[in-house]
Structures are given as C-alpha cells and as structure tokens.
Amino acid sequence: MRKIALPLLFLALAVSASAQNTTTYDANTGSVTSVNAVTGYLVGGGAFHSPDSMGSGCYYGGCPAWQFSNYPLSYILPDGTTASFTNFTGAANFTNEFDIEVQGTASGRDSAGHSVAVDINWSFAARCRSGRGGGCWKTFMSGTLSVRE
C-alpha cells in the first residue's frame, strides 16, 4: 500500500504546483473616448485602459470580426499592482453599434515581477447621428479582466 501512496502523493504535489492562479475582475463602469480608447473601472478599485483607434477603418454596422495585434494595454488592480503590455491581440465586433464587443489577450510581467497572462473583454454602445450637429456618443457597458499568474 505504501509503494502506491508515495508516487500518488508526488503526482498530486506536481499537479498543484503547476496550477495557475486566475483572478477575474468585473468592470461595471467606464468611459469611451471619441477614438474608441476604453477605460474600465474595476469593482473594488483599479482600472484597465485600452488603446485608441480600436476599429480604425470600421464603421458602426460593419466589421463583424475586426482583428488587431500588438496593441498596448495596461491595468492597475485593486491591490495597486500594475502591468503594461505591448502585445494585446484579439478581435472586435462593430456590427451592432449598440453593442460593440472587444475580446483579447496579452502577457508579460506585472509590477510585482510575476509572469502574467490576461484575458479581457468589454462592450460599449455608440449612438451616432449624421448631418449637421452629428457625431457619436459612446457609453461603456461592461467588462472583465482575468489575470493568470
């Protein structure tokens, strides 16, 4: 019995040592600039910030799978840990101007020196008018930031 238990114990320790820690933060409020840069405010403090020119060349009502790669992305977590990435890669769906969805990933090191990978998504709405006095009013709807160490 002991000969079987000892290898199983080492296997269990090896599996738990390789498991990654994932924490997900919700963003219920935020802002969107005229060039689609998004700041999502994390529940409990902190925020994430996306680059401007997201969807450059797309018009609302088009571009169902606009692809992007190697964009900047940054965050500050409720505990004050920060990270800035230059490899933010993903896709955005501009088909419905009332529900624009962005999803992406990035990886690197945070301010605590940990190797991290993030999955992030957010949505916003744009209400646009053409003609005199036209323009777009943009509203952040929701977002999540998942950080794996």
Give CA–CA dist 40/48, Å, rounded: 5
Residue 17 has pLDDT above 50, yes or no: no
Beta strand 135-148 with 100-109 is unpaired
CA-CA-CA-CA torsion for 60, 63, 66, 71, nearest 10 degrees?
-20
* pLDDT for the residue numbered 133: 67
Query: Sorting pLDDT into bands at 50, 70 and 90, what band is 14?
Result: very low
Which residue from 65, 38, 33, 35 is spatially nearest to 49, judged by alpha carbons?
38
pLDDT digits (tens, 9 = 90+) for 124-142: 999 887 777 678 899 999 9
Q: What is the pTM of this model?
A: 0.82
Give CA separation, 70 vs 7, 44, 61, 67, in Å. Answer: 44, 29, 25, 11
Give CA–CA dist 55/59, Å, rounded: 8
- Average the pLDDT over 99-104 and give the result: 95
Give CA–CA dist 144/146, Å, rounded: 7
- Average the pLDDT over 55-81 and give the result: 91
- Average the pLDDT over 18-47 and give the result: 93
